[in-house]
Structure 1
Amino acid sequence: MPSYKLKILNEKGLHARASAKLVEVVEGFDATADISKDGLSASGDSIMGLLMLAAPIGTIIEVLTSGPEAAALGDAIGQLVADKFGEEC
């Protein structure tokens, strides 16, 4: 199971729109993702679960992926986070 540690870079953190984009990415792969922060965990396909993590800018999240496309999914999530969820240019 690939594991990634990612720093939330966008100003608003992991809010509703960013969470929806993350869910959209996860649903595009034949794999699953679990996102965790400070001992709390959420499924990568649950907007509400992701919001419950309350991850503001600067937060380090851990992403665990599994399934046939686990590595590709992890890379895609990493790119989404690095691109600040497409919110800032």
Structure 2
Amino acid sequence: MPNSGVADAGRALCQRVLICNKKGLHARASARFVRTVECFDAEISVVKDGITVAGTSIMGLMMLGAGPGSTIFITARGLQAREALESLVDLVSCGFDEDAESGGDE
């Protein structure tokens, strides 16, 4: 398919992700998630325990109460859905790079 971005634009892509950082989806992690979403031409939503929030809402993400060990589902639609989803899954799977930022301290 020559233009795979267009093909992805019409369908939703979804990925289950484990929250693995020490503090879960707190304010800084949520802000980082939203900043990543804003880099892509895609509509992102996040689901936890049947509750869906926009991937552009820091407060919505925090209200999910996704602590360490929680599972969330990230859904992406749009021209850059695949790229956005891959980037967000990497971000969450790497613990929002919090250990690197804090130098590994608690």
Both structures adopt the same fold (TM-score exceeding 0.5): yes
Partner Cα separation in structure 2 for residue 63 and residue 20 of structure 1: 16
Shift of 1:33: 0.6
Q: 1:40 aligns with which of 47, 51, 64?
A: 51
Q: 2:66 aligns with which of 55, 58, 62?
A: 55
Could you report, residue by residue, the CA deviation over 1:22-65 in whole angstroms, capped at 9, with x for unpaired residues? 00000000001100000111100000100110000000000110
Q: Displaced runs of 4+ in structure 1, greater than 3 A?
A: none
Partner Cα separation in structure 2 for residue 5 and residue 75 of structure 1: 12
Shift of 1:86: 1.1
Identity of aligned residues (%): 42
Which protein is bigger by CA-based radius of gyration? 2
Letter in 2 for 1:48: M
Q: 1:11 aligns with which of 22, 35, 57?
A: 22
What is the TM-score when the length of structure 1 is the normalising length?
A: 0.98
Q: CA RMSD in A?
A: 0.6
What is the TM-score when the length of structure 2 is the normalising length?
A: 0.82
The answer on 1:80 being equivalent to 2:91 is yes
Q: What is the aligned partner in structure 2 of residue 30 from structure 1? A: 41
Gaps of 5+ in 1: none
Shift of 1:69: 0.2
Letter in 1 for 2:82: A
Query: How many residue pairs end up in the alignment?
Result: 89
Secondary structure of 1:79's partner? Answer: helix
